[in-house]
Structure 1
Amino acid sequence: MNRMMLVAGSLLALTGCAGNVDAPGAGGADDPDELETAPGPLRAGDVIAYAAETSHPYAGGWKQAITSPGATFVRVHFDDFSLAKGDYVTVSSPDGTQSFRYEDRGPNGDGDVWAFAVDGETAIVELHSTSGGGHGFSIADIGHGTIALAPASLTSGDATPGSASLARRPGGGTPDIVCATEGREDIACHPELDLQQRPVARLLFARGTGMYLCTGWLVATGDDRNTTLITNNHCISTQDEATTLETRFGYQNTACGGPTVAAGESVMGGSLLKTNSRTRTRSRGGLDYTLIRLPGNPQTTWGVLTPTTKAPSVGNPINFIQHPGGRPKEIGFWRDDAHTLRCQIDAIDQTYSGTVSGSQIGYSCDSEGGSSGSPIIDAGTGRAFGLHHLADVAWLSCRNGGTEMSAICADAGGLIRCATD
């Protein structure tokens, strides 16, 4: 079977479809006859043991360099975090260009704090206190990055930056390819889509022994006082994972093809509202989505995308906004280097890899590991009518797949607000 797939794939010259390498393997996990890749988040690092702590209670300040040799980024995980009023902890890069502040019992109020990622192999942890008296904290473990979260420029015709696993070759049925050409661009190349791109964020989180990357976006709700994020169930499915979440908005180049990344905003943690599993076969779900309540009100700055229950049609142009490989925000707009073929819907009401019957759309538009959870947006209305989650969903098609938002809207009920146009 694999030999037939490779030979047949070599005869194709399809344009503009990259396999979503969120899943490193071929074949649906629930049905061996399926050709689709079973999805999973992109692994970005490891969770490793690290022992350090203040005295309990602490008598004054405390400072330590947390170094993990060879790491591309470090996330410090505090346990039993509890500080006296007015005291605070900073986690900073050695040069001070990155610095994040934590106080009281941490952003989640429970003493379990996953600090924001600091680029490089060293994070400086400092407790700022003049008199002491608080409990302090322990450092239970750290996130050790194994892929770079540094900015990279993407221009038409270039190989995908920062992704050694992608190769330019035609094909189908494999998860780690760019089919013939690369059509993605920096989101800054499309300033006319500012309102559509702003709610889209990069997600970095811990699960078991690993650090992982996906994409998510702020979804409209019936209560503007609360902020709700949507991503895939195969990215985040438990409260423990949501607690570790670092949601980074505005992580994008400031100019088309430029080297400078915008400052943006990071939000820590979240409360799991609802999740629906990837497949029906084992978990009786099949819509592959998760809703998370984020702390604060980031939607007042970054806005929201409104889902629609309107059925997409074949040939409908789409905007596929994503954080492939955890890089600064990009858009699947074209299917080819020459920018002549628009990303579009190729199939509707499909059933892929154990999903709910008739709940899926297919599209030929580049994606990559880390793109899972991205919105598939109707280019005409700006409404989101799909949630990306699968790659290579049809035999010899090099087609990606997403769950139709109409199905998610029906399942989520009053947790999200959906339009009909």
Structure 2
Amino acid sequence: MMKNRTTVLRFWGTALAVASILLVTPAFAAGRSDARQRKPVEMPMRVQTEGMTYDEYRQRQAELGSRLAGTMPARSLGAPLRVELTTDEINGVERAPRVSGTPLQIGLVKAATPRVDITGLVTGSADGGPRRGPGALATPTGDGGYVWALAVTSSSAGALRVHIENMSLPAGAELYFYSRIGEAFGPYTGSGPNADGDFWTDTVFGIEGILQLHVAGPVTPADLQRISLSVTEVGIILPRFAGSVSPAAPAGFCGDPVCLVDASCFNPPAIPTAVDQAKDAIAKMEWAQGNFIYTCTGGLISDNNPNLDNLVLTANHCINKNNSAQNVQFYWRFRTSSCNGACPSNTGWPYKTMGSTVTVTGKKGDFTLLHLNTTPPAGSTLLGWTTTPVANTNGAMLYRISNPDFGPQVYSQHNVDTIVGTCGGWPRGGWIYSRDITGAIDGGSSGSPIMNSSAQVVGQLSGTCGSSPSDPCASGPGEANATVDGAFAFYYPTVQPFINP
């Protein structure tokens, strides 16, 4: 049943203690907008046709996974790289205070101990011999090539990814990362996708992933000696987020707080048709940064630039540097198949793409535009946008689709509130203050676009402002908090050269 409850972004981490103080001590003054007055510029929502369909994506995954499993050397699973988490480490993530204005932690980055350094391969049979380190054993394949593999495991994992450094592969050599239960990614070639030998693999769900190196024949010993790579870290997403969610009290949709509502329950005519189509613009995002793995939400945005496409809008406080943007995994259309249906299973394999670069970012307005390395799914919606300011339009109705808690899409509807007090650093005009009318947001919703009824972006989520930021259901009319979005109209002059040159 739809609940007219509301939310606080029960954010995230402990890094911004000062910011958390600001959240609970709002300056109760409406303030004037500092957005410049200008003739509105806008672009409509549109649907793109490029990219693979989901069926094509799954077929590629199945074929690649089958091929890799068929050439995996015997006994390569016998000496895995094991990386485990302590109970304190797990509790540190699951019970971490959530501070508005920081991304949600969903996992940890652990050093590979000992690290795996491959400096050249030697040939041998499938039995015996070293499988890692200098002179690691390569097994011959039927086509005159060679293969090397290493299993990476963690009993604490809901999903895994691997940090590769110092990679240099000759022509014909390809590295893959896959699971025996269905996902397969690669090839990673040469010096990797960033051309510097340093990158994170895609993420596979489960407690095990397999790194597998294929060298196409014919191969000379000199070719094998030119191969080098290091496995230095493993990223582990906790089962609380990547696997089945253990409901927390109070337990609502997919273990979320009771004020969050399933986006699949809201369809026309209950919501505008364009807002319904916006579900195909939204991606949950996951990336490794420092000692943790984080999540936020982003949305595809339309542009009028003939030299730039596949742009995703999110928050500056989520992603603002290329070293993070490069390893973002995007999960498209991650939602339930029916209203309040079973939570989407990760073993159903969502459509994922990997990597991006920062096109433009700014703290004022809290925005980042990312350029995707890979085209999103065919039929994806590109959200429109408008520079018509709404921050000072009391009662303006706005809409949002987001992926809180690394889970499925939720829906929320918000009304602009020009009376509620503002928080330091988030002045009205540069930010939009609203009250949650239907549904809610939570940790991981950060960066999600907020739209008008035509699915035109007017901003993206920064966090909450109020006296009870730990309560994810207290941002409704007259309640303790307000939901706060960076205002597109405010920062449009900064993004205009890229989306509307």
Choose from 395, 419, 435 the match for 1:315: 395
Give distance in 2, aligned partners of 1:65 and 1:32.
45
One-letter code aligned to 2:433: G
Give distance in 2, aligned partners of 1:124 and 1:378.
45
Q: Contact 1:252–1:329 (CA<8 Å) still a contact in 2?
A: yes
| Cross-structure match for 2:313 | 230
One-letter code aligned to 1:298: P
Identify which range, 348-357 or 109-118, moves more after superposition: 348-357
| Cross-structure match for 2:463 | 390
| Structure 1 residues 255 and 82: CA distance shift in structure 2, 3 A | farther
Percent of paired sites with the same residue:
23
Q: Contact 1:48–1:142 (CA<8 Å) still a contact in 2?
A: yes
Q: Contact 2:295–2:406 (CA<8 Å) still a contact in 1?
A: yes
1:9-57 Cα deviation digits (max 9, x unpaired): xxxxx95222212234699725955526541000011111011243425
What is the aligned length?
A: 368
Shift of 1:351: 4.4
Choose from 176, 180, 183 the match for 1:98: 183
* The structure with more helix, counted as a fraction of residues: 2
Aligned-residue CA RMSD (Å): 3.1
Choose from 127, 134, 141 the match for 2:233: 141
Unaligned runs of 5+ in 2: 27-98, 123-137, 139-145, 469-478
Choose from 13, 32, 44 the match for 2:106: 44
Q: 1:17 is paired with a residue of what secondary structure?
A: coil
| Structure 1 residues 34 and 71: CA distance shift in structure 2, 3 A | closer
Shift of 1:397: 3.1
TM-score, structure 2 normalization? 0.66
Shift of 1:255: 2.3
| Cross-structure match for 2:267 | 190
Give distance in 2, aligned partners of 1:351 and 1:257.
35
Question: Equivalent residues in 2 for 1:191-230 (5 A)?
Answer: 192=273, 193-223=275-305, 225-230=308-313
**Greater RCO (CA < 8 Å, at least 6 residues apart):** 2
Shift of 1:324: 0.4
Shift of 1:388: 0.9
| Cross-structure match for 1:376 | 450
Shift of 1:330: 1.8
| Structure 1 residues 81 and 26: CA distance shift in structure 2, 3 A | closer
| Structure 1 residues 89 and 346: CA distance shift in structure 2, 3 A | same
TM-score, structure 1 normalization? 0.78
| Cross-structure match for 2:31 | none
Question: Equivalent residues in 2 for 1:5-404 (5 A)?
Answer: 16-24=5-13, 29=18, 32=21, 34-35=23-24, 38-50=100-112, 51-56=115-120, 60-95=146-181, 97-104=182-189, 105-131=191-217, 133=223, 134-146=226-238, 147-150=240-243, 159-163=252-256, 182-187=259-264, 189-190=266-267, 192=273, 193-223=275-305, 225-259=308-342, 260=344, 264-277=350-363, 286-298=364-376, 301-312=379-390, 313-333=393-413, 343-347=414-418, 351-356=422-427, 358-365=429-436, 366-379=440-453, 381-393=454-466, 396-404=479-487
Shift of 1:300: 5.7
Unaligned runs of 5+ in 1: 1-13, 167-180, 278-285, 334-342
Give distance in 2, aligned partners of 1:271 and 1:26.
24
| Structure 1 residues 258 and 240: CA distance shift in structure 2, 3 A | same
Q: Contact 1:199–1:217 (CA<8 Å) still a contact in 2?
A: yes
Shift of 1:311: 2.4
Give distance in 2, aligned partners of 1:385 and 1:151.
34
Identify which range, 234-243 or 81-90, moves more after superposition: 81-90
